[in-house]
Amino acid sequence: KIAQFPFVRELDGFEFDAQPSLDPRQIRELATCRWIAHGDMVLFLGPPGTGKTHLAVALGREAIRQTYSVQFVTAATLVAMLAKAHDDGVLDKQLTILARPKLLIIDELGYLPFEANAAHLFFQLVSRRYERGSILITSNRSVGEWGSVFGDAVVATAILDRLLHHSTVITIRGDSYRLREKRRSGLLQ
Ligand code: ADP
Ligand code: MG
5 Cβ below 6 A of ligand 1: no
Q: Is position 2 within any domain?
A: no
Model pLDDT for residues 138-185, shown as the tens digit of each residue: 999 999 999 999 999 999 999 999 999 999 999 999 889 888 877 778
The pLDDT score that the predictor gives to residue 178 is 82
Q: Which of 21, 107, 177 to mutate to test the pocket of ligand 1 (most atoms within 8 A of CB)?
A: 177
Domain with residue 36: its CATH number is 3.40.50.300
Ligand 1 atom, smallest distance to 55 CA: 6
Q: Is position 189 within any domain?
A: no
Q: Is position 96 within any domain?
A: yes
51 Cβ below 6 A of ligand 1: yes
Distance from the CA of 1 to the center of ligand 1, in angstroms?
Answer: 25
- By alpha-carbon position, which residue is closest to atom 9 of ligand 1? 51
| Ligand that lies nearest to the alpha carbon of residue 176, given by its number in the listed order | 1
CA angle 97, 54, 77 (to 5 degrees): 35
Total domains in the fold of the chain = 1
178 Cβ below 6 A of ligand 1: yes
How remote is the C-alpha of 57 from its chain's centroid? 10
Distance from the CA of 181 to the center of ligand 2, in angstroms?
Answer: 17
Q: Is position 54 within any domain?
A: yes
The conformation of residue 95, written as its DSSP 8-state character, comes to: H
Q: Is position 142 within any domain?
A: yes
The domain of 34 spans 19-184
Interface ipTM > 0.95: yes
Q: Is position 133 within any domain?
A: yes
- Which pairing describes strands 134-139 and 103-109: parallel, antiparallel, or unpaired? parallel
Distance CA 136, CA 1 (A): 18
Model pLDDT for residues 17-41, shown as the tens digit of each residue: 999 999 999 999 999 999 999 999 9
Q: Is position 93 within any domain?
A: yes
